[in-house]
Amino acid sequence: MDRDLRQVPPLNPLHVFECAARHGSFTKAAEELSVTQPAVSRQVALLEDYLGVRLFHRETRGLTLTNEGKRYAAQIAPAFRCIAEATSELVSARAAAPLKLQVYATFMAKWLMRRLPQLQTNHPDLRLRTRTAVAPVDFARDNVDAAIQLGTGDWQGMDSVFLFSDEILPVCSPALLAGGPPVKAPADLLRYPLLHSHYRRRDWPDWLEAAGLTMAETQEPLMFPSSLLTYQAALDGLGIAMGQPAMLETELRSGSLVCPINRPLRRDLGYYFVVPPNHQDRARIAKVRNWLLEQVAAG
């Protein structure tokens, strides 16, 4: 078997010969392969030199296969058809598989979910499967095609597109304010319980520092295991949460949450759409990326 494999000629000249034999023309082969006619001629000549056999008669009136060329073309053509069919089957199967996107649970529930029907309307042929995770994506480990990540934009070994900044400001139930002390300045917020998210522990300290304040070290924080639960606690009147307006559009618009102090803080953090470099499914990746950018631009 090894001896037989060593008899396989260079594949590029072989491919060019098969194409030229099928068309009976170097010019038509060049058009199919998107190369020049002289390039086709050179590749066929390389194959003839390798085989030690003339495959074409090159005559003034045109190009014809030699007897050896006819036999050789007939024998190798099925192999190229098999390769083409196998490739088509593989590509079709990949296109039919869902595109897997990793997101944060809060991002999924509060930003992405309500927009997915529009994606299905715009791209009915695109199947998207989401998974939620807090840990940074690792494309070598995680079985996903793309991810939405929060960070500073330094995504080494990945291609990334900026979506929007991570803006934060205090939010709470209007009922909480109605039954508590007045809030006229940032310092007044410290008279209320402050609600913290385990994975966003820097939100309150950073915002207070920007306002010229610090948290009392003796104050035991009300810590919740996720931003979703922190926001729910704010809705239920347990205290004031540090919220992300982009994730709370519905609640802020309806008035179920309000901003007791309208002083947003933007740090050097943002949400990014990230993909591994040289991803094989570029067309569908581009559809999702462009759709996300459209949604961000629409506000």
Q: How confident is the model at residue 277 (pLDDT cuts 50, 70, 90)?
A: confident
Confidence of residue 220 (pLDDT cuts 50, 70, 90): confident
The mean-pLDDT minimum among 77-91, 97-111, 201-215, 232-246 falls in 77-91
Arithmetic mean of pLDDT, 268-278: 93
Report yes or no: 189 and 182 within 8 Å, Cβ to Cβ.
Answer: no
Note the CATH number of domain 11-96: 1.10.10.10
pLDDT tens column, 47-86: 999 999 999 998 878 889 999 999 999 998 888 888 877 7
Sequence ranges of the domains in the chain: 11-96, 97-298
Question: 81 burial class (0-12, 13-18, 19+ CB within 10 angstroms)?
Answer: exposed
What's the pLDDT tens digit per position in 130-139? 999 999 999 9
Report pTM.
0.70
How many percent of the chain have pLDDT more than 70? 94
Q: In this structure, which topology does domain 97-298 adopt according to CATH?
A: D-Maltodextrin-Binding Protein; domain 2 (3.40.190)
Query: In which band, very low, low, confident or very high, does the pLDDT at 97 lie, cut at 50, 70 and 90?
Result: confident
- What's the pLDDT tens digit per position in 1-54? 444 556 788 889 999 999 999 999 999 999 999 999 999 999 999 999 999 999
More confident residue, 184 or 93: 184
For the chain, give the mean pLDDT: 91
**Position 226 pLDDT exceeds 60:** yes
pLDDT at 197: 96
In this prediction, residue 5 carries a pLDDT of 53
Average pLDDT (141-161) is: 92
Q: Averaged over 265-289, what is the pLDDT?
A: 91
Compute the average pLDDT of residues 256-277.
96
State mean pLDDT over 179-208.
Answer: 95
pLDDT of residue 1: 42
Residue 150 has pLDDT above 80, yes or no: yes
Instruction: Say what the pLDDT of residue 7 is.
Output: 74
The pLDDT of residue 219 is 66
More confident residue, 254 or 280: 254
Q: Which residues pair with 149 in a beta bridge?
A: 272
* Predicted confidence (pLDDT) at residue 265 exceeds the cutoff of 90: yes
pLDDT tens by residue, 109-123? 999 999 999 999 999
